[in-house]
Structure 1
Amino acid sequence: MSKQTTTPVSMTAEEFKTAGYHLIDRIAFLLDTIQERPVTTTKTADQLRSFLGTAPLPETGISADAIIKRATNLLFDHSLLNGHPKFLGYITSSATPIGALADLLGAAVNPNVGANILSPMATEIEQQTIRWLGEFIGVGPSYGGILVSGGNMANFTAFLAARTAKAPKSIKTEGIASSKPMTVYCSKATHAWIEKASFFFGIGTGGIRWIEQDEHHRIRIDLLEQAITRDLENGCNPFMVIGNAGDVSTGAVDDLRSISALCKTYDLWFHIDGAYGAPAAALPELKKVFEGIADADSIAIDPHKWLYSPLEAGCTLVKDPNTLIETYSTHPVYYNFNDTESRPHNYHEYGFQNSRGFRALKIWAALQQAGRKGYIQMIRQNIELSQLLFHLADKHSELEAVTQHLSITTLRYVPLLGLDTMDNRETYLNTLNEALLNVLQRSGEVFLSNAIVNGKYCLRGCIVNFRTSEKDIVEIVETIVHEGRKLHRKLMNHSAPVQLMNHRQ
């Protein structure tokens, strides 16, 4: 074996094994004891900076083993652990251990999955992964797509494909001004990515038509059609309707079948933001809820949400993959990526990035480890735990259960005493629950997020966590009530409600 050149970042096999074995041992211990740790750090930003230190960039190198040991201590002791069974905040899942190992393996090979010649096997694995994702949620074999960083990018990628497909061909050379005013339609619960996309990509936020929801938190189809016809009469170019498959606040799924029918009637691009909820389409008992998903022109789905992949992992699925090529493909003279004989699949032609990391491996590995049945079992269990949270809140005298869709429950703390004499009861409850959320998030015992539902400030539990159990849900309810009582007494005793309510008004 020839001797390798020694550089400041080289490691011998023994050095690599020493650092690696230590790291794997520590990670294994973390995963085995994660439920015994605080959900999040209780240290302030100043304290964290003091732990990290303010030393200048080292002039000479430090051993890899020492760096790994220090980094492990810093991260394990001072992070929010979204793999903790009592983390129900936002929509960040507990990550599969095999995903972490796959990321290490992928980084060791370090393929650039922008061009087939730079990533021959990684490209094939990404194609297979995307096909499996489509199969899992029940769309046809024609669907293709690309893996991206997350929900924003998955939706952006589809948005531009829709704009390209529905705008005049002159848009590529003359810009968005060559089109009539373009308009896009979505419910008022749609994620903020739509505002970014409309601003970034020339539609303007004034081109968004925000449609009211019905009593089940789904987009109102009658108002949607009225908005489309009104824009057509006013000389606009309606081009895209977004259906939510699990909206970000409550988890509600829009009437996808009816949206699809409208899009066909008016020749609009039908996009589904299923970044969170689309994996639940695999459950047989939810087939009717997701009816119409296979009619979508594009779908955003984030494996790092309900498929438990480590960050980052999003995906844009499109019914006709050629729409991505028409939108993103370029052929600069310095690329030598097109072998006319083998017709390679070059992912730089399907999205924003040229250089791309190997995101597929961690998803590909976990899909095989769990299989379709394993994922269905875990997703179903998350939904059942969310239903349990709603049920426990509904029967508790000091909690109000507000909504429950998929694996998201919203609720709020409502004290038994002190509300009857208040003129502004609802304002106080909003203030109390907002303060309660901050207390809970800082406590390290449980981590929830928030939602505003019909003007109510709610605590929001989103369960995309394969470690969460019934015991955790029961204890979370107890913690909410315990901390809610303490905070209510404190606010009432210090006459703080008036100050806080005036501040919010």
Structure 2
Amino acid sequence: MNELLLTDDERAHAGARLVALLDSYERGLAEADILPVPDRAQLAGLLAPMPDKGIGLDALFDRWEDVVLPGSTTVAHPRFLAYVLGPPNGVAPYAEALAAAINQNCNFWQLSPAASVVERSVLEWLASVVGFPAGAKGILTGGGSLATLQALATALHDRVPDFHASGLQRDHAPLVVYTSVEAHRSVDKAAAILGVGLDNVRHIATDDRHRMDVSALRRAVEQDRRNGLRPWCVVATCGTVSTGSVDPLDAIADLCSDEDLWLHVDGAYGALFLLSEGMRELMGGCARADSITLDPHKLLYAPLEAGCLLVRDGAKLRDAYAFDSSYLTVAEDPLMTDYMDYGPQLSRSFKAFKVWSAVQAFGVEAFRSANERTLELAQRFGRGVQEAEGLRLLAPVVLTAVCFSVDGVEDHASLLEELAAENVALLGPVVVGGERGVRACFTNHRTSVGDVDLILERLRGRVAFQARGFAPDPAN
């Protein structure tokens, strides 16, 4: 008997309990606490020494149900609106289970032939959504931050001669990367990790719509060249985290072409709205990027983790990451891809399977409809804020982020705590133009019109209490 396997009866019993657990979780989502109060004693119990003899299957499932689930944030609740983090789609748990069972190592194709083709299928489809040419290549990553890091590494290999051999250890003028003051922190983080240095990151001012100011970008590039520095890369944003603004991508692409700069687009939040034709005018410039970050674990509602990097010229991605290893050599096959040559990892999980499975099961149109619904809900919420006395928008509603303030509320953090404690909604804090407020981000395919109206009603009630000089009574 193998001590690490289940018997036939145990396997059947585990399957029945798992199905029952998933079903119970799904049915209870709408009434669940969005942000449960952790039972600290129970959670501390998870730190007990690992048992020498196992607790058994039923005890394990009991612990999942009694400790792990009650101590977990309910990100699938329809009013979980604090972050750009949607709930997983319905087929995700089953795809993840099969991926775990077959445990493919997606590094070179001999270890994962079907997985290699599945990942290629996903990447070619995503490249077509963005508008990249047939020669584009990519890789699924652990998230948008890793995709941006890998993109900038690719740009270094492409733009710095002999980078593989000597890296940045050379007597040359510093490289400079440009992004906006609204850009995700992953840009700074990548510059620090790669040795470019934070002193060589220029945070360009934005216009009145929180988009990168292209004139200011051009002036910064020209000034750095006059100072003997080496402008090298621009990171534009398609959907900033705070307000959802979209940088003027075509104008930035024109500048990058004029100045011979690598253009990376951080589209982790917004670029997959390109599934909708109506977003082409706003985001069509994504197709002109040298590289782009996407996040299938956002707008494709894949479970964490599933980021993506696409590079317009796929040969440049391979040049950055391919190394010879005699013990890993297998015959090249035109159908297969060795993904160890397109990113830093050797051991890689089968991330593509959950993305591919969901699109196969539901179809592209289902994701297009779900994303369009979130855009409509954000617009509805934005109109509600504009129409309500005492509520004020802090930024235009471009995608699904709605930033607003409540008159008379100095401490918006306490308002967020009230809304969470009452299980009305989990919203997030935001600072826009130096002003503090609240941000609701509608990237949840479970959210309904009724949920939007419930939050607006509660906010209007908060304003009414505030006007009378009282704090609201959660019991009423």
* 1:107 pairs with one of 100, 107, 132: 100
Q: Give distance in 2, aligned partners of 1:54 and 1:314.
A: 31
CA distance in 1, matches of 2:291, 2:71: 39
Question: Is the 2:187–2:235 contact (alpha carbons within 8 Å) kept by the matching residues of 1?
Answer: no
How does 1:438-477 map onto structure 2 within 5 Å?
438-477=417-456
Partner of 1:351: 343
Q: Describe how 1:370-409 pairs up with structure 2 within 5 A.
A: 370-403=362-395, 404-409=397-402
Q: Is 1:8–1:61's contact at 8 Å kept on the other side of the alignment?
A: no
SS in 1 for 2:153: helix
1:411 and 1:460 in contact (8 A); partners too: yes
**SS of residue in 2 equivalent to 1:327:** helix
Written as runs of structure 1 = structure 2, the 5 A alignment for 1:92-131 is: 92-131=85-124
Q: In the TM superposition, what whole-angstrom CA distance separates every residue of 1:411-463 from its partner, at most 9, and x where no partner exists? A: 11113xxxxxxxxxxxxx4x421332233345433111122111111211111
Q: Give the equivalent residue in structure 1 for 2:194.
A: 201
Which residue identity is paired with 1:269? W
The match for 2:15 is 20
**Structure 1 contact 451–459 (Cα < 8 Å) conserved:** yes
Q: Which amino acid aligns with 1:434?
A: A
Q: Deviations over 1:28-77 (max 9, x none)?
A: 22112211111121236x34425x45532212122123212321332332
Instruction: Provide the residue aligned with 1:294 in structure 2.
Output: 287
Q: Which residue of 2 aligns with 1:337?
A: 329
Q: Is the 8 A contact 1:93 1:465 kept in 2?
A: yes
1:195-243 deviations in Å (ceiling 9; x for gaps):
1111110100011011011011110010101111111121111111111
Change (3 A) 1:256 1:54: closer
Is the partner of 1:292 in helix, strand or coil? Answer: helix
Distance 2:16 2:99 in 1: 18
Distance 1:344 1:222 in 2: 45
Between the aligned partners of 2:425 and 2:253, the Cα distance in structure 1 is: 40
Local SS of the residue matching 1:121: helix
The residue that corresponds to 2:43 in the other structure is 49
The question of whether the paired residues in 2 share the 8 Å contact of 1:436 and 1:487 is answered with no
Structure 1 partner of 2:72: 79
> Do the aligned residues in 1 keep the contact of 2:137 with 2:317 (CA within 8 Å)?
no
The residue identity in structure 1 corresponding to 2:30 is: Q
- Superposition pairs for residues 268-307 of structure 1, below 5 Å? 268-307=261-300
User: Where does residue 145 of structure 1 map in the other structure?
Assistant: 138
Separation in 2 of the partners of 1:343 and 1:281?
Answer: 28
1:161 aligns with 2:154: yes
Give the match's secondary structure for 1:22. helix
What is the alpha-carbon distance in structure 2 between the residues aligned to residue 385 and residue 343 of structure 1?
A: 42
Out of 1, 9, 33, which is 2:4 matched to?
Answer: 9
Q: Secondary structure at the match of 2:211?
A: coil
Change (3 A) 1:485 1:163: farther
Structure 2 residue ranges without an equivalent (≥5):
none
How many residue pairs align between the two structures?
470
Taking the aligned partners of 2:300 and 2:32, their CA distance within structure 1 comes to 24
Return 5+ residue gaps in structure 1 as ranges. Answer: 1-5, 416-428, 494-505
Q: For the residues of structure 2 that align with 1:341 and 1:288, how far apart are their CA atoms?
A: 39
Which of these residues, 255, 259, 280, is aligned with residue 248 of structure 2? Answer: 255
User: Identity rate of aligned residues, in percent?
Assistant: 31
- 2:258 aligned with 1:265: yes
Task: Report the Cα distance in structure 1 between the residues aligned to 2:279 and 2:190, rounded to whole angstroms.
Answer: 30
Q: TM-score, normalised by structure 1?
A: 0.89
Paired with 2:32 and 2:471, the residues of 1 have a C-alpha distance of: 33
Comparing 283-292 with 63-72, which one deviates more in the overlay?
63-72
- CA distance, structure 1, for counterparts of residue 154 and residue 468 of structure 2: 54
Distance 1:487 1:75 in 2: 38
Deviation at 1:7, TM superposition (A): 2.7
CA contact (8 A) 1:23 1:72 kept: no
Aligned residues: CA RMSD: 2.1
**Residue 491 and residue 190 in structure 1: after superposition, are their counterparts in 2 closer, same or farther (change >3 A)?**
farther
Q: What's the CA shift for 1:12?
A: 1.4
Amino acid corresponding to residue 459 of structure 1 in structure 2:
V
Match of 1:222 among 215, 234, 237: 215
CA distance in 2, matches of 1:224, 1:299: 19
CA distance in 1, matches of 2:422, 2:157: 48
Normalising by structure 2, what TM-score? 0.94
